[in-house]
Structure 1
Amino acid sequence: MAIFQKSIIILCMALLSACAGTSNTKSESTSAKNTAAKQPNGSSKGGGYYLDDGPGDNTSIDIASIPDAQPRTEKPLVSSNKPYQALGQKYVPMTNYAPYTKQGVASWYGKRYHGRKTSSGEVYDMYSMSAAHTTLPIPSYVRVVNPANGRAVVVRVNDRGPFKHDRLIDLSYAAAYKLGLVAQGSGLVEVTAIDTSPEALKNAANINVAKIEPSYASTAQIGEYSNSLNTSNTPTAESASNKEVSPASYYVQAGAFKSEANGEVLQKKILTLDLAGNAAVTNVYNNGLHRVRLGPFSSKREADIHANKVRSQLNISAIVTNQ
């Protein structure tokens, strides 16, 4: 009887062990399938949906209306621009602006890194217009153009990467979305560094977004127009004389939303923090968007001061426009 009971116990233990082994194998197999399913076209070469990365769960954000990064003079961070090594490769970052234009493959990163610290020490926001580069100064600004569709954006480099030899730049989810790269995961782009020295910004030698009224152009279009501005677009003396000259008024666009309620929330924040001074804060509806706007200001300098206040206190990319 004792021998029979021992045999029953041994048999039960063997069955339990077999079940446990089957469960683990199935779990690993399912995990592998799920990982492959998140990669575009079932390949890890596409970027984008790598591992548990991908678009965020917040579908209420109107990504297309997120303004480009507004170039401004910033001091390079010593700690973020030291020589370093990653994946066996040595990198020597630039510590100051230098002319830089290069074509290569852009990838993007999203919710997997959202909320984590970047190489600059700032928190990564997948809905900001930012990017990672292996050697460009941190922080710095670049214009990124997708030659396949002509779209262009301006982003702020505040992180390091990508470290794959076939990648040139890692874009935030918002930047990749506006360039039309999200679905395919990666794509060929041209990256051009922007000179943000006080002299360059004053003369608008390499970027001029203020001439485009946002009521008539999206932020992506602003980047495209700024690339095409040339002397042929300058009105002749004869045509200028036929137009009534009026003093310029400058505004600060703090955000653009499809939802009026979202615009009102931002409007109230700006008013509560007294970021507009004596200027008005309006939630203007135009071309299908509710634009939160501060102004008018009598000079661009005054508008820039208030734009910087909005950026620093609300951590959003406010842009200066005129009409």
Structure 2
Amino acid sequence: MKPVFRWLWLVFISLALVACTTVKSASATSQASAKSGKKTVAANGKYFQNDGPAERIPANLDLVPDAVPQDEPLIKAANLPYSALGMSFRPDTSDKPYVAKGRASWYGKQFHGRQTTSGERYDMFAMTAAHPTLPIPSYARVTNLRNGKSVIVRINDRGPFHRGRLMDLSYAAAYKLGYIKQGSAPIKVERVWPDDDGETVATSRPDSPLKASSDDAYLKLGSFTRLATAEAHMSQIEKDLDAKYDAKLGIVNRDGRYTVQLGPFRSQKAARTVAEALNVENSVIQGGI
């Protein structure tokens, strides 16, 4: 056989062998698994791809405190209608009560440190959860219907996109609810809000400033003739103010004066309690400014 033909023959054989042994790349295999919901077997159960518990679990994880409901502004980009895995979702940004029953799963080390829908980094040891339509951020009480255990979590992510799942909880939340080893559990989800004094939670939205009644009480924190002065005063207060009161802090213009106020609170007693806790001037105004 002539050298030229021998060389062409060897090239043909090599290409044929390569074609027979070609495999998918790791990224392509992972994407296919994600789309199909395929799970890999771990020593202590089945987890999505490489997910599962962390190699090192913090001590006393059951003592991690529940999330504390706060008034927080909604994140616009995280609450737009969206589609995932062939399904369409429209987040509910209203203040309507929400109660539902279903099954909850949890997500762990594979997603630890990754960006959530809220833009925050996922912390598997924090009391957070993912839900397809509850506002981001918002808060919910989750009860394990199998053992009666209950926790409060902060919604900061989207998912799970599985017709048989209602919510994805953080590892810590699932741990406190007692279903880490089972992988999922029947749950009840109730949306909650901070009560007026910030110490308790409510299952319906307390009256907001836009719906304030004549019985509402406010704390007057300063009154100024110039808006810039009022804004500077409010900025100074914000530095020392607990973040859960941020949504209640504002400036009202009346008769040419700019008043920095905190509220509303349902009663003068509730307003005075907050004033004492914040160590601010106890100037309570009934019915707003």
User: What's the TM-score once normalised by structure 1's chain length?
Assistant: 0.51
Structure 2 counterpart of 1:138: 136
Shift in Å, 1:195: 2.2
Structure 2 counterpart of 1:149: 147
Shift in Å, 1:163: 0.9
Structure 1: how far apart are the matches of 2:161 and 2:276? 39
Structure 1: how far apart are the matches of 2:94 and 2:105? 25
Shift in Å, 1:18: 11
Q: Verify the 8 A CA contact 2:190 2:203 in the aligned structure 1.
A: no
Structure 2 counterpart of 1:163: 161
Structure 2 counterpart of 1:106: 104
Q: Verify the 8 A CA contact 1:40 1:185 in the aligned structure 2.
A: no
> SS where residue 49 of structure 1 aligns?
strand
Among 74, 94, 110, the residue aligned to 1:96:
94
Letter in 2 for 1:132: A
Q: Verify the 8 A CA contact 1:97 1:195 in the aligned structure 2.
A: no
Shift in Å, 1:178: 1.2
Q: Verify the 8 A CA contact 1:104 1:190 in the aligned structure 2.
A: yes
Shift in Å, 1:24: 7.5
CA gap of 1:140–1:37, structure 2 versus 1, over 3 A, is closer
Q: Verify the 8 A CA contact 1:68 1:129 in the aligned structure 2.
A: yes
Structure 2: how far apart are the matches of 1:189 and 1:123? 25
Runs of 5+ consecutive residues of structure 2 not aligned to the other structure: 2-6, 205-271, 280-289
Shift in Å, 1:13: 10
Runs of 5+ consecutive residues of structure 1 not aligned to the other structure: 4-8, 208-298, 307-323
Q: Verify the 8 A CA contact 1:104 1:188 in the aligned structure 2.
A: yes
Q: More strand per residue: 1 or 2? A: 2
Shift in Å, 1:186: 1.0
Larger radius of gyration: 2
> SS where residue 194 of structure 1 aligns?
strand
Deviations 1:77-107 (A, max 9, x none): 1221111111222211111322111100101
CA RMSD of superposed structures (Å) = 3.9
Letter in 2 for 1:171: L
Structure 1 counterpart of 2:63: 65
CA gap of 1:15–1:92, structure 2 versus 1, over 3 A, is closer
The percent of aligned pairs where both chains have the same amino acid is 42
CA gap of 1:60–1:165, structure 2 versus 1, over 3 A, is closer
- Number of equivalent positions: 202
The equivalences for 1:1-323 within 5 A come to 38-39=40-41, 49-57=47-55, 59-62=56-59, 63-196=61-194, 198=196, 201=198, 204-206=201-203, 301=274
Deviations 1:236-276 (A, max 9, x none): xxxxxxxxxxxxxxxxxxxxxxxxxxxxxxxxxxxxxxxxx
